[in-house]
Structure 1
Amino acid sequence: LAQTVEPAASDQSKIAPTLADALRTSPGDISFLVILSEQMNPQQVVAAAGAEDIVAKRAALYAALTEHVRRTQAPLRAWLDAQGVSYTAHYLVNMLEVRGDLALAQRLAQRPEIGRLVHNPLVRGFEVFDVSRPSWLRQEALSASPASAASATLPWGLIDTNADDVWALGFRGQGIVVAGQDTGVAWDHPALQRAYRGWNPTTMTATHPYNWFDAWGRDPNLDRGCPVDPQIPCDDDLRSSHGTHTLGTIVGDATGMGDTVIGMAPDAVWMACRNMRNGFGTPASYIACFEFFLAPYPQGGDPMTDGRPELAPHIINNSWGCPPQEGCDVESLRQVVETMRAAGIFVVASAGNEGPDCSTVKNPIGLHDAVTSVGAHASNGAIAWFSSRGPVTVDGSGRLKPDLTAPGVGVRSAGRLSNGQPTVNLTLSGTSMAAPHVAGAVALLWSLEPGLIGKVEETEQILLDSAVAVPSAECLSGTPQSPNPVYGYGRLDVLRAAQLVLGDRVAIAVEAFPPEGGVLTGGGVVAPGSPVTVTAAAAPGYTFVNWTEGGVEVSTEPLYAFTAQENRRLTANFRPPLWLPVISRQGGVR
């Protein structure tokens, strides 16, 4: 595109310095983001919606955001079409991703609706460590053994956070959807498949649309570790199975492999998005995954019109970072996570692995106030040397980060061996491993008290108030104190958080056996002395048998009424349909 008029200085200032440098030095076109001046305030949209129901609020937000960008982007998109410039439109931030040269950027900067132009660099999204090596040698920890070599004990992080004690109350994440945006996920891993939202255990089939999205699509040369169809989930991290590992810490259950539960919330279900290709992501790929999560849509669909906000996850884990020094735009990612918070979606992020220096929590999205940022501690409770410290100074805020710490050293979870076989003995270290513990903890709390769902600020405060304080003077002047820029408010303790939620109330948990045997209603958190009625409706083909507690029958009626006096964990038992062989006309059994 020819540049016939010298751009004004004010127009030139719209081009971020990192983008200007990249455009000047690149031999060809590069990817950059065209961010419009007119942006919506998501908090105002949600407040104006006036709906109490979180799904209704989310739907109102999606409708407002998409209508706004279609209207305000229309002249710009028409101009780009006329110039023959391809683009991808986004709505969480009112922006378009384009590929072009310096001349195109200068012409765009002259347009009055443009606020700024920023780089869309390809950056390394994560780092995991072998903590047995010197601190200057940062490498991947790949201590793995075949799945048959069962550990026999829960991963230490589940015990450290007292997740197993919350399970004992009868709450294991049931009814909660957790999402991970990462390197992808091995969806058919035996420790994860059962919990995949797209999996139907009755028909033994999977439905991937609305449950999985690949922000990169598929390239036959760059994505050789994945199926050709981008609608089929995959984890392209063949070295550390990063996305599979992090999701395993949230929902993994390897009891079917002869091992143990490996995830904080094994009865939650998951969905996922691949935001990195071979461990590298861009601001646009990260934002694309957030857009998929706010309103899931099929691969190849239009995020502006095909989104279904009622299918959004409750919680999103983010074990990645986007360094501003490499060109990542802090403001657009801040806007995205603030929008997700306004939508009532709990966003968890790794604090980063740039410790032990102070003020090393400096990369989006871990630096932002709208996310719960997680540092890493070891099994002895000590902070990991690599865990990034606060306070946040890169934006001048002095904000306390991380918010809290969780197990992040020598974390055992799901992955693949070099021969492609599944394992649950893949041990990795990093704040990437710590964040999923917190995501799983939120799933436990929201399954315990559904009234908290969507109340992000209240839930976050419960986590902070219940954390085990660890006084420290590091990165502070004076005596040890808590909270501090090393541990934040302390080490994650989900049992203490659950006890805060309960207060003087009691928990009535209900579960079906087998899980697909029927639909249950009733239970929850109630005051002592309250009347409680629980009901069990058998699924087609199944028959209700009885209610039991601790293996002891308490009722043979589908409707069971009682007065709550203490915590109870009730199981509705169903008899599965009898399987009878049918002789086909060819004489075989089918």
Structure 2
Amino acid sequence: MKLHKALLCAAFWWFFPGAQAAEVDHAVEAALAARGAADVLILLDDQARPALTPLSPTAAPRLRRRALVEALRDRAALQQAALGDWLASRGVAHRRFWLVNAIQASIGPVELAALSTREGVARIAANPSIALRLAPASVPGLRPAATTGVEWGVAKIRAPEAWAAGVTGQGVVIGGQDTGYQWDHPALKAQYRGWNGSSASHARSWHDAIHPGAPANNCGYDAPAPCDDHGHGTHTAGTFAGDDGGANRIGVAPGARWIGCRNMAAGNGTPATYIECMQWFLAPTDPAGNDPDPDYAPDIISNSWGCPASEGCTVGNELAGAVQTLVEAGIFFVAAAGNDGSTCGSILDAPATYDASFVVGATTATDAITGFSSRGPVAGAAAARPDVIAPGSGVRSAVLGNAYSSMSGTSMATPHVAGVAALMMDANPALKGHPQEVAALLRATAVRDGITDPYRTSCGGLSLGTWPNHQAGWGRIDAWAAVQAATPDVFSDGFEG
């Protein structure tokens, strides 16, 4: 069905003469004109994070997290009730969110006309399917994918020194949202929180945000157990926690546990799938999606995905608000800078553009910033970006079919940082729930000597020798230095910087 924009606008005012219309994304109008239907996010007026009185800012992170989740859920239940009932009465498929005060729905022109002037609706945003953008998969001169012991990036950042001191990430949970995960891969099975050593229970350890209507994929929809239809997610999980108990020492924090959420179908995600995974991480649910419990939230979330505005990603504040809420709930949120380098100002995609994210660029084995690694500055950012750099070129990790192979990208650099954060929280559990302190220690202990950029001498007016800068941030991460700095009373030769 073809519906011209002029007719669509006329329909608004025929239904609601003199009404104040909500903001409607042009992409929504284009979808209706082309297909007669559009997948949208209906954003309600109230997007502020609720005040947590009478809790003080110094209240225990777990108490603050529970109070925050309760307040967000209560608000959504109250403010979305009438709109949800209205959609249901018209047979409109929809999904409610409480992390962001929004409802996802598939609507036609009649529904859009009514929604655009409905009280309490601020914006009707597009929810497009966006393809994952990868760096070059192979680089000349890489080591082969055969068994090699401790992976080069893990050794480069001195994680084995932390292991030797008994710090492996124990007691820490890392969440990953990606293309999914092969949970029973030999390098990942023992570390999966849903595995107790003899049987698996995926409740609160796995969620699939891919539902019917998403692109066709090998995992299907609403997968009840972790599944990876692409391989990207399995590779990233291997880097933050993988270890097969033998020669494949591919993970930075092999003593940590991990949980996962699939936010992409065959490499294609949407703003709604990203929000759904973030919401689930804040309060993981049972397999039916019920009984959300923030006590099961991860300590860290590793994010090797991007949501580019250039490809139709929602450009409002909804994703930024979701990330900020997770961080305020005490979760360390690590994000890939992107693979659009080597030009300056090439960190373009959410969530790497958000101040609340801890942003990671990529290096080679010689501490050179890779050509593909996106660089700052980020327009409007409060600080230099990226925050740090980490190994991301030719990183060998787990892949589908119980195998191992190399990939390149800031996607590969990001889980190195998530793993280091887990080591720090193992060494000092008081860091859990305090992402700002973790970020500060990672920046303070980063290696600066020997960092090079073969492609740029400066970005945003800052040379590579000025710290921080927009190419390497504060420098390349150092796991052992970060662990020592996190526990100065434990290690007598603690970091001095």
Same fold (TM over 0.5): yes
Sort the Cα spacing of 1:409 and 1:213 in 2 relative to 1 into closer, same or farther, 3 A.
same
Distance in 1, matches of 2:459 and 2:298, equals 36
1:234 aligns with 2:227: yes
- From 26, 30, 42, give the equivalent of 1:34: 42
Distance in 2, matches of 1:227 and 1:39, equals 33
Q: Structure 2 counterpart of 1:501, which letter?
A: A
Sort the Cα spacing of 1:220 and 1:9 in 2 relative to 1 into closer, same or farther, 3 A.
closer
In the other structure, the counterpart of 1:363 is: 349
Distance in 1, matches of 2:295 and 2:462, equals 49
- From 187, 201, 213, give the equivalent of 1:207: 201
In the other structure, the counterpart of 2:27 is: 18
Count of aligned pairs: 478
Distance in 2, matches of 1:283 and 1:46, equals 31
In the other structure, the counterpart of 1:255 is: 245
In the other structure, the counterpart of 2:106 is: 99
Q: CA deviation at 1:367?
A: 0.9
Q: For each residue in 1:282-311, what CA deviation from the matched residue of structure 2 results, as whole angstroms up to 9, or x when unmatched? A: 000011111111000123324xxx101111
In the other structure, the counterpart of 2:476 is: 491
Q: List aligned pairs for 1:352-501, cutoff 5 A.
A: 352-393=338-379, 396-397=380-381, 399-416=383-400, 421-424=401-404, 426-469=405-448, 470=451, 473-477=457-461, 479=463, 480-501=465-486
Does the residue aligned with 2:375 lie in a helix, a strand or coil? coil
Does the residue aligned with 1:206 lie in a helix, a strand or coil? coil
Q: CA deviation at 1:160?
A: 1.0
Q: CA deviation at 1:105?
A: 1.9
1:162 aligns with 2:158: yes
Q: CA deviation at 1:28?
A: 3.1
Does the residue aligned with 1:487 lie in a helix, a strand or coil? coil
Seq. identity, %: 39
1:177 aligns with 2:194: no
Q: List aligned pairs for 1:225-304, cutoff 5 A.
A: 225-226=218-219, 230-237=223-230, 241-256=231-246, 259-302=247-290
Q: Which has the larger radius of gyration?
A: 1
CA contact (8 A) 2:240 2:253 kept: yes
Does the residue aligned with 1:373 lie in a helix, a strand or coil? strand
Which runs of structure 1 show a deviation greater than 6 angstroms over 4 or more consecutive aligned residues?
A: 141-144, 218-221
Distance in 1, matches of 2:186 and 2:275, equals 30
Structure 2 length normalisation: TM-score?
0.90
Distance in 1, matches of 2:318 and 2:408, equals 29
In the other structure, the counterpart of 2:90 is: 83
Q: CA deviation at 1:9?
A: 9.0
Q: Structure 1 counterpart of 2:363, which letter?
A: H
Bigger RCO (CA 8 Å, 6+ sep): 2
Q: Structure 2 counterpart of 1:103, which letter?
A: V
Distance in 2, matches of 1:220 and 1:115, equals 26
CA contact (8 A) 1:126 1:432 kept: no
Q: CA deviation at 1:167?
A: 0.9
Sort the Cα spacing of 1:8 and 1:468 in 2 relative to 1 into closer, same or farther, 3 A.
farther
Q: Structure 2 counterpart of 1:35, which letter?
A: L
Distance in 2, matches of 1:488 and 1:196, equals 32
* CA RMSD in angstroms, aligned pairs only: 2.6
CA contact (8 A) 2:45 2:122 kept: yes
In the other structure, the counterpart of 1:110 is: 117
Sort the Cα spacing of 1:47 and 1:392 in 2 relative to 1 into closer, same or farther, 3 A.
farther
In the other structure, the counterpart of 2:313 is: 328
In the other structure, the counterpart of 1:52 is: 59
1:119 aligns with 2:105: no
Of the structure 1 ranges 8-17 and 269-278, higher mean CA displacement relative to structure 2 is found in 8-17
Does the residue aligned with 1:154 lie in a helix, a strand or coil? coil
CA contact (8 A) 1:29 1:99 kept: yes
Q: CA deviation at 1:494?
A: 1.4
Q: CA deviation at 1:477?
A: 3.1
In the other structure, the counterpart of 1:150 is: 147
Distance in 2, matches of 1:378 and 1:15, equals 44
CA contact (8 A) 1:174 1:267 kept: yes
Q: Structure 2 counterpart of 1:114, which letter?
A: V
Q: Structure 2 counterpart of 1:404, which letter?
A: V
Does the residue aligned with 1:298 lie in a helix, a strand or coil? coil
- Give ranges in structure 2 of 5+ residues lacking alignment: 1-7
